[in-house]
Amino acid sequence: MSEFLTIGEPIALFGSEEVDKSLKDALHFQKFLAGAEVNVAVGVSRLGHSSEYITQVGKDPFGEFIIDRLHENKIGTDYISETADFWTAFQLKDRVSDGDPSIFYFRKGSAAAHFEKEILDKIDFSEVKMAHLSGIFPAISPAAQSAFRYLIELLEKNQIRTTFDPNLRPQLWASTEEMVETINDLASHAEIVLPGINEGEILMGSRDPEAIADFYLNNGSATKTVIVKLGTEGAFVKQKDGSSYTVPGFKVAEVVDTVGAGDGFAVGLITALIEGKELEEAVVRANAIGAMAVQSPGDNDGYPTPEQLAAFLQNQKVK
């Protein structure tokens, strides 16, 4: 039984250790556990909350690597199936001195893409306080999207609070139009929607945080809160009752890798809400973990323990 659960595709990530060298030319890589939703599960667990991850992996070295890393991070694997018929996804990521790194996926037809939704009937929701959903898993295959929608039904039936991060991956969709229509439909089922400002422009045509928030607040009756991620500027929050405010971000000395910052934001928000903290305090934590995430090379290596988080926040106050 867990306080938190999420569904996604875990990936074995090979991150280049050579700065500003193309993936074609790089020779030295380090292997990490990756995948947006698994990043969130890692972060939630690291902050001391019980966490379950739902997926399917192949019976192969990458699948074994992923299961081992999940166990190391104290993430439950009760709802992970294994198959010998399909392989576990992996990806390559370069290392850059500025901007976002390039990523190359090997995931089409993967084990997770053949996930069968029947395993969802085994979930024990009795202790679950929050679930995190993202737009990636429903993009990888029709089977995954079917399972994703079924999980939404179960979450609604069990009255579980949900966060939804669009996490746009255009390369996984047949067209931009299909991506926009599907993501916005799925977002309408979530209590808290977490678009980035760039995602807002793609999904509803504006970079204005308030316009983005208004769109998602009117997108579905389930949505009570929209938090628009503004990068280094922090986050804009608007609620169904019309109240709104901006929570400023944190300055960091060096940006090593931007991948995983948005997932870190979700970690901070979710864990604070599980702990019963007020929304504004939760967004402060979300901004803090997003800032900590960009200072490490792995997708989730920068996510803190409670002690590391407390030290980071204290250090910011001292400044």
Q: For 277-303, how does the pLDDT look when each residue is reduced to its tens digit (9 = 90+)? A: 999 999 999 999 999 987 776 667 789
Residue 166: DSSP 8-state = -
Catalogue the long-range contacts made by 182-186 (C-beta closer than 8 Å, 24 or more residues apart). Answer: 182/135, 182/138, 182/139, 182/145, 183/135, 184/219, 186/133, 186/135, 186/138, 186/148, 186/149, 186/152
Which residues are part of the catalytic machinery?
A: 263
Residue 294: DSSP 8-state = T
Residue 102: DSSP 8-state = P
Query: What's the one-letter identity of residue 121?
Result: D
Phi, psi of 245 (to 5 degrees): -165, 160
Q: Which of 32-36, 84-88, 276-280 has the lowest mean pLDDT?
A: 32-36
pTM of the model: 0.93
HSE-CB for 141 with a 13 A CA cutoff:
16
- CA pair distance 26, 16, nearest whole angstrom: 7
- CA pair distance 7, 128, nearest whole angstrom: 14
- CA pair distance 163, 132, nearest whole angstrom: 5
What's residue 99's pLDDT? 78
**Is residue 319 over pLDDT 70?**
no
Name the residue among 272, 301, 232 with its Cα closest to residue 34: 301
Contact call for residues 258 and 277 (beta carbons, < 8 A): no
- CA pair distance 291, 309, nearest whole angstrom: 11
Q: For 125-162, how does the pLDDT look when each residue is reduced to its tens digit (9 = 90+)? A: 999 999 999 999 999 999 999 999 999 999 999 999 99
- Tell me the pLDDT of the chain averaged across its residues: 93
Residue scoring higher pLDDT (1 or 39): 39
Q: In the chain, at which residue ranges do the beta strands (DSSP E only) sit?
A: 4-7, 11-19, 29-34, 51-58, 75-76, 80-83, 90-95, 103-106, 130-134, 161-165, 192-193, 225-229, 235-239, 244-247
Q: What is the CA radius of gyration of the chain?
A: 18
**Is residue 318 over pLDDT 60?**
no
Domains identified in the chain and CATH numbers: 4-8+35-88+115-317 (3.40.1190.20)
